[in-house]
Amino acid sequence: MTGVWVLLGVLVLGGVAGALMQARNGRIRAAKAGAPALPGRVSGALAPEGVTLVQISTTFCAPCRHTRVILSSLAEKTDGLTHVDLDVTETPEVAQALSVLRTPTTLALTPDGREVFRVGGVPRGQELLEALKPHLANA
């Protein structure tokens, strides 16, 4: 009988953990104050004007492919928006410097390297555009 209760407890905890992870996936978070200096690989990829969406990916990340499609499409359709995909498989120090704990993570950066916001997981296109509007109006 104890085994049944243990199994039931594990299933409930797993369900709660899965629901929390799903709720956090694709959520836009405002940038923290005092962001670290950008690594050269990132600062060199920034567009001279507008907003650059820097996607942090790894080679074997399946959600990264879906994110790449979403962000590339948004960048093609939106003036002042650029998409850059950085694969950090061989350079984990870039992810560490940016405090990236999961892939994909998308950073919205201004030309001077200031982080506007970040998205952990696959972003939702319409929500991303809404969050970008105030920053693209100045572009």
The reported pLDDT for the residue numbered 40 is 78
Q: Say how many domains are in the chain.
A: 1
Domain range enclosing 66: 29-137
End-to-end CA distance of the chain: 65
Q: Which two tokens stand for residue 11?
A: 């299933």
Residue 137 has pLDDT above 60, yes or no: yes
The reported pLDDT for the residue numbered 34 is 66
Q: Which two tokens stand for residue 107?
A: 């950073």
Mean pLDDT of the chain: 86
Q: What is the CATH number of the domain that holds 33?
A: 3.40.30.10
Q: 71, 105 in Cβ contact below 8 A?
A: no
The reported pLDDT for the residue numbered 36 is 65
Per-residue model confidence as pLDDT tens digits over 75-132: 999 999 999 999 999 888 888 888 888 999 999 999 888 889 999 999 988 899 999 9
